[in-house]
């Protein structure tokens, strides 16, 4: 099987670059001792994916429906803004609560820390909602 330039370009922009950003983020978090089980990691992958498609929407011209073909860049730019907002909420509010939970045993606290289920679920719900809306819009 021969890999054409257009196939390589598609893989680079839709899989390799977002996947690399995700893996670099996981490595950064591991190195700093920050929990990796956060939805903001997934949101970061979505930001890089939407950003790469917004920069070069021609990469998906053959993959979208004829009705959306002219608006691929605009749609991904809107998703880029939505994912940046979701990432900001995740990092600014949810990450602090998760870090406090994971660091509680290390500080010698005598109280049992309660896992912040609502915060954790909020981040994953936001990120999965973006994925579902994206699949609905692009898949239609």
Helix H, strand E, coil C: the string for the chain is CCCCHHHHHHHHHHHHHHHHHHHHHHHHHHHHCCCCCCHHHHHHHHHHHHHHHHHCHHHHCCCCCCCCHHHHHHHHHHHHHHHHHHHHHHHHHHHHHHHHHHHHHHHCCCCCCCCCHHHHHHHHHHHHHHHHHHHHHHHC
Render each residue's pLDDT in the chain as its tens digit; 140 residues.
Answer: 566 777 777 777 777 877 887 788 788 878 877 766 666 777 777 777 777 777 777 766 665 567 666 777 777 788 888 888 887 887 777 777 877 777 776 667 667 678 888 877 877 787 788 778 777 776 65
**pLDDT value of position 32:** 75
**pLDDT value of position 140:** 53
- Provide the whole-model pTM: 0.63
**pLDDT value of position 2:** 66
């Amino acid at each position: 099987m021969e890999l054409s330039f257009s196939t390589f370009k598609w893989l680079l922009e839709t899989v390799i670059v977002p996947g690399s950003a995700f893996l670099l983020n996981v490595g950064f978090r591991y190195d700093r001792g920050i929990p990796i089980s956060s939805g903001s990691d997934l949101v970061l992958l979505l930001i890089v994916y939407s950003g790469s498609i917004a920069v070069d929407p021609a990469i998906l011209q053959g993959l979208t429906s004829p009705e959306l073909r002219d608006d691929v860049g605009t749609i991904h730019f809107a998703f880029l803004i939505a994912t940046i907002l979701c990432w900001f909420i995740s990092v600014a509010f949810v990450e602090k609560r998760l870090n406090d939970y994971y660091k509680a045993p290390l500080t010698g606290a005598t109280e049992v820390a309660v896992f912040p289920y609502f915060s954790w679920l909020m981040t994953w719900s936001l990120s999965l909602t973006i994925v579902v809306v994206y699949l609905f819009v692009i898949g239609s």
